[in-house]
Homo-oligomer: A and B are copies of this chain.
Amino acid sequence: MQSLPSQAMRPFTHTQSLLPSLSSLSSSHSRYFRSIPILHKFNSHSKFLNNSPKAPLLTVRNCSSISAKPSSELRKKRTSSEADEKLRALRQLFSKPGIGIDAYIVPSQDAHQSEFIAECYMRRAYLSGFTGSAGTAVVTKDKAALWTDGRYFLQAEKQLSSSWILMRAGNLGVPTTSEWLNDVLAPGGRIGIDPFLFSWDAAEELRQAIAKKNHELVFLYDRNLVDEIWKESRPKPPNKPIRVHDLKYAGLDVASKLSSLRSELADAGSSAIVISMLDEIAWLLNLRGSDVPHSPVMYAYLMVEINKAKLFVDNSKVTTDVMKHLTSAGIELRPYESILSEVESLAAHGATLWLDRSSVNAAIIDTYNSACERCYEHLEKLGKTQMNDGLNGWSAAPAGIYKVSPVSFAKAIKNDAELEGMRNCHLRDAAALAQFWAWLEDEIHKDVKLTEVEVADKLLEFRSKQSGFMDTSFDTISGSGANGAIIHYKPEPDSCSIVDANKLFLLDSGAQYVDGTTDITRTVHFSEPTAREKECFTRVLKGHIAVDQAVFPENTPGFVLDAFARSSLWKTGLDYRHGTGHGVGAALNVHEGPQSISFRYGNMTPLQKGMIVSNEPGYYEDHAFGIRIENLLSVKEVDTPNRFGGIEYLGFEKLTFTPIQAKLIDLTLLSADEIAWLDDYHSQVWEKVSPLLEGSALQWLWNNTRPIIKQ
């Protein structure tokens, strides 16, 4: 899939309105550049980025997406008086003792920088009534403003009451949140945030931006003001049971993973680490959860010390099996809420903590820093320069080591069991897709009118019959005709289109299985495509083939392959405004870093054996059609006849096996090698997927995997 619920994955829409500022994006520590590959560390030369110099700093940092469908409570149309009431209640809190603020910022995020978040954390949606996936609300004593990007201008206009100013981020002259605050507040104001909802880097950037007008950033630790007004109606935090991710899928037991991590800690001179990314915790502990849609993770923090480890989690989610599993790996349980006090205690014991400032929230890092400071002052008073850290003997006063989480990289390089799970689930997924396409073509040819949502629901039905199916891996993008050109299109039941037999249909979808994660896009036509559609489709296909067939020396960063995907489009003056590939987790998040294939040339992470990337070039013609062809690939060693430089040469193994529609191809544009690639692919699809099918789906697969005949 290309278009992601997370704003961070969606920077290249035409409006580009939520693009992070150049300065924020060039920060190598930004969360976005680690977890979100297509945006990884892009820089000011990036060609599309330059179009949006006024993009808000803060908004993006705060707009990790809300992709769980809001409950009816959240979705119902708000009246102006309801909105006013919430704002009034919120503002009342401003002057309460221990608060004393002039403005409060409500971002979209949870405390873990998650792409998909639980409903109880959808505070911005609750407060403002705007339920889009990206947005930041800022409330002062007399104003309330909401920033969102071009995808959501219409929706926000509908959903926001007149008490709210809609800030069309990215439009000319629209200030960023901090610019606006600097403008509307009298100098020296106090601007409150919930420090759990900002990464340290994001909070720091905000602090610096508002310092220009002498404003102070106030961390309100003990209370989220929106939660206080939300009161009883606030959904409970999710507490679905955690399950053990079977070793046959994980491939490596927790003890081994912890042992590697501890070696890395020791090498870096740190005695502990706090991990806050939910997928990193799930991967490291071979656990899976159900706290959010699409991502099989559970809300938790993990603290790993040299000789112990603590999981901070609501223990109602911990089954007996999970408890056994954790205990045998030497992991203790702690309440989710006790993370800060344990961080303080670590500092008091002199632990040198490894913290990823781009992902760990400001509450944790600020708490650790303060505790270190106190510890240092205490030592000074005693006239000592060293202390017993309780773990390793005597050490100097504690201090943080600020580096990217080592788990990110370890997780990205899949082991054999993970790769095997990915291969297997992709075949079952392909079987479901064959059933689905056979069904859909049949319905359309029978002239049944189906909406984009009905079609997506039917796909889910086929998938859910496959063994090991757990969930979709993101909201299905089902776009007919012009809707396909909206890269981040999300059809809604009450407003979506009928799938038109005479237009291109783009379907980007994926699933979570017990053994792996899928993400596939196909674009099809149910009758006769135009020459224009065929030319564009064929150029996209040529790019897809070029990436798929690429061989490259080890240590090659993914961006080197990006131009292969675009070359054929460029020759005719076409392009697409998104990256070509993102990392994918194994039975984990559908988007993960650190690798990517993108025109954002700053991500120097080399593609390495065992990494998984999507290969998804596209082309989008506004108000007309969208084309994207996406397979998942794993990076493998290629047995080249030569090995210049004595190094490995790498290439890709396909994981996705679903036919590419032949009628959309303009054969005059394909070389003999490209036709051979397609025939070979289809022959593999038939060989691998046909054993899982019967009846009309089998027939459909047969029909769609025949060799191309060039006239």
Which residues in A have some Cβ–Cβ distance to B below 8 Å? 43-45, 47-48, 50, 549-557, 559-564, 567, 569-575, 577, 599, 601, 604, 606, 638, 640-645, 647, 649, 671-673
Contacts and interface: CB of A to CB of B under 8 A. Distances in A.
A560 B557 contact: no
Contacts of A572: 640-642
Contact of A47 (B48, B50, B555): B555
Copies in the assembly, this chain: 2
Nearest to A577: B645
Contacts of A644: 569, 573-575
A574 B604 contact: no
A574 B643 CA distance: 6
Given A570-B551, A573-B644, A45 B563 contact: no
B45 A606 contact: yes
A553 B563 CA distance: 11
A552 B572 CA distance: 10
A227 to B, nearest CB: 43
Contacts of A573: 551, 638, 640-644, 649
B555 A570 contact: no
Q: Is the interface of A mostly helix, strand, loop or mixed?
A: loop
B575 A550 contact: no
A45 B574 contact: no
Contacts of A642: 572-574
Contacts of A640: 571-573
Leading 5 A-B pairs by shortest Cβ distance: A573-B640, A573-B642, A45-B604, A47-B555, A551-B571
A570 B649 contact: yes
A47 B556 contact: yes
A641 B573 CA distance: 6
Contact of A50 (B551, B552, B555): B555
Contact of A563 (B561, B647, B671): B561
A563 B567 contact: no
A561 B645 CA distance: 22
A666 to B, nearest CB: 14
A593 B599 CA distance: 23
A640 B555 CA distance: 34
Contact of A671 (B567, B569, B672): B672
Given A553-B570, A560-B563, A571-B640, 7 more contacts: A551-B567, A552-B570, A561-B563, A572-B640, A573-B641, A574-B644, A672-B672
Contacts of A567: 550-551, 564
